[in-house]
Amino acid sequence: MKDIEYNEKKGYFGEFGGRYAPEILTSALIELEEVYKKFKNNKKFNDKLNYYLKNYVGRPSPITYAERLSKEWGCNVYLKREDLNHTGAHKINNTIGQALLALEMGKKRIIAETGAGQHGVATATVGAMFNIETVIYMGNEDLRRQELNAIRMKMLGANLIGVSSGTATLKDATSEAMRDWALNVSHTHYIVGSAIGPHPFPTIVRDFQSIIGIESRKQFKKLTNKLPSAVVACVGGGSNAIGMFYGFIKDKDVRLIGVEAGGRGNLPGEHSATISQGKIGYLHGTKTLIIQDEQGQIVPAHSISAGLDYPGVGPEHAYLASIGRVEYVSVSDSEALEAFKELCRLEGIIPALETAHAFYYGKKLAKELGKNKNLIICLSGRGDKDVSEVKRLLGDNL
């Protein structure tokens, strides 16, 4: 394992990251970078952020010792309960932070892309609470899979725009949001929802999500007087994972494992396992690993979970994989469904399908670690949004 060396001033993580954005966006990205630099360690800003995280989101989210899973899997399993945040996932940690930055920049309008709809709901929520005009882009395929979240966004007063280009999923919604931003940049802030995009987004999103890992480390130490053997999180663009891992990144004895979506198999178009199967390229303004063909054309991703269905990954993950600090594995659609059912039955928690990927691998890892070892799984979100899709897939076999 190599030592971690960041060059965050330029927005690079090793060779990954950077700012490969059209000229029209460069000034907005520099403005955001400057504002963030100014407020990152500003007491008043952080007091405000912490006020909302505590009194609106409900932080700190608990760590739950999963008694039945631990017994069944033969290892102590702890769950970091991001599903208990207001709006039901980790996304709101980032949208509150970025909405506060937008207000500091005097921007009157926020836009966002969304896959599973969780980031869209979290953005629509802060748009309502802070009284900022909100526009959300969502692929039409995802609108079908995630109808509940689409309705929620509209109820919250956001203007929801369906995207039909490409595969009509997250990549296409992101491209459309970037186009909107380029046209309206003077009065609009683009709240990127994962640790992706041009610098400074991957750093900003990671910092706002790092509360997951910082709290987890503190809570776990208080409970057990130890550090866990391993920490597991699912990886779409990589925001819940990087937020979780960041709290433990310097603890070299703690294994960190990111779980990607293996979809229906290894063939191109059948999965979203960017780190295991991707190659270096450029997507949405950043240099990272991307699922692409021989000509460098992006190959559509697939996952049962809309939130993991993205052909790129945050550049910091590409870097952490390259130096061997984080292990990345993949879990298939059917394995995720199996874990989904198991978590419902054994712990009384209906997880998001994204999260279910982390659980399937958690089970494998628990068997490998064995008794008296401790494992934390990031329970990134709850599964209400997925119940009709799971019912469609499983029929009466729930």
Ligand X SMILES: *Cc1c(COP(=O)(O)O)cnc(C)c1O
- Which stretches of the chain bind ligand X, using CB under 6 A? 89, 91, 116, 118-119, 194, 234-241, 307-308, 352, 354-355, 380-381
Nearby residues of 3 by Cβ (< 8 Å), 6 or more positions away: 323
**In DSSP terms, which residues pair with 188 in a beta bridge?**
109
Whole-number minimum distance, CB 390 to ligand X, in Å? 14
Comparing CB distances to ligand X, the nearer of 119 and 363 is 119
Residue at token pair 């396992």: 273
| DSSP structural state of residue 159 | E
Closer to ligand X by Cβ: residue 16 or 45 = 16
Other CB atoms within 10 A of residue 237 CB: 29
Retrieve residue 39's tokens.
Answer: 């407020």
CB 18 within 8 A of CB 12: yes
H-helix or E-strand spanning residue 188:
strand 188-190
Q: Which residue has the tokens 């039945």?
A: 68
Q: How far is CA 76 from CA 56, 103, 191, 349, 362, in A?
A: 31, 43, 37, 17, 11
Residue pair 191/98 in contact by the 8 Å Cβ criterion: yes
**Minimum distance from CB of 22 to ligand X (Å)?**
24
d(CA 377, CA 209): 15
Query: Which residue's CB is nearer to ligand X, number 185 or number 337?
Result: 337
- The answer to whether the CB of 311 falls within 8 A of the CB of 279 is no
Looking at the Cβ atoms of 11 and 202, the one nearer to ligand X is 202
Find the shortest distance in angstroms from Cβ 190 to ligand X.
16
* CB-nearest residue to ligand X: 381
Of the two residues 134 and 355, which places its CB atom closer to ligand X in the complex?
A: 355
Q: Which sequence positions are flagged as catalytic?
A: 91, 113, 380
Least distance CB 379 / ligand X (angstroms): 8
Least CB distance to ligand X at residue 183 (A) = 26
